[in-house]
Amino acid sequence: MRVFYIPLPYTTFDANQVIDAFRYMQQAKQIGKIVVTYDHGIYAKPASTPQQKPALELSANASYLVTGGLGGFGLRTAQWLVEKGARYLVLISRSGPVSAEAKTALEHFAKQGVTVHASACDVTDKAPLASLLAHCDSTLPPLKGIFHAATVIDDGLARNFSRTRSSAF
């Protein structure tokens, strides 16, 4: 008995059309294989000059609020804002500026000429948050940005998660 093998159908693309080949593959409409050939060699496209995107520059006459701004990720966010030109920061956390890390950062900001309002405020408590925003509105330049950087890292398996464990956050 003779066995004949019929090759799978295929669609060919020249190597210079490899982007089109990938787009065709993304559509998942092909049956069989996609073949990239080198029948015409590979021609080099002229190198285009990448356009420089303007660097982010924040207004020095505006305030920026960072929730969770007095620890870890929030403090790093505040430092980034200052690097980008911010000169007025509102840094809040549930505990306020009590850690050594927060105190050191506040001193560093002061040396850089950055005005920082740092306080304890839980963003889930409407009345204290409204009071904080009213105070900042009357003492600082207009608020132009809010960065939510409050985090809690508590590694564990999802199956061990309980209502009492979630209320700690």
pLDDT given for residue 165 in this prediction: 64
Residue range 76-124, pLDDT digits in tens: 999 999 999 999 999 999 999 999 999 999 999 999 999 999 999 999 8
Q: Are 102 and 70 in contact (CB under 8 A)?
A: yes
Kindly report the CATH number assigned to the domain that includes residue 143.
Answer: 3.40.50.720
Quick one: 72 and 140 in the same domain?
yes
Q: Is residue 31 part of a domain?
A: yes
- Number of compact structural domains in the chain: 2
User: Does one domain contain both 19 and 73?
Assistant: no
The residues facing 148 across adjacent strands are: 67
Does 56 reside within a domain? no
pLDDT at 130: 96
Instruction: Report strand pairing: 63-67 vs 33-37.
Output: unpaired
Q: What is the pTM of this model?
A: 0.64
pLDDT number for residue 24: 86
Structural domain for 127, as ranges:
63-148
In terms of DSSP bridges, do strands 143-148 and 63-67 run parallel, antiparallel, or are they unpaired?
parallel
The predicted-structure confidence for 61-73, as pLDDT tens digits, reads as follows 999 999 999 999 9
pLDDT digits (tens, 9 = 90+) for 1-18: 677 777 778 888 888 888
Task: Answer yes or no: do 108 and 141 share one domain.
Answer: yes
Clarify whether residues 124 and 84 are in a common domain: yes
C-alpha–C-alpha distance, residues 40 and 25, integer Å = 21
Q: Which string of DSSP letters, residue by residue, matches 83-98? A: HTT--EEEEEESS-S-
Mean pLDDT of the chain: 87
Alpha-carbon distance of 34 to 13, in angstroms, equals 8
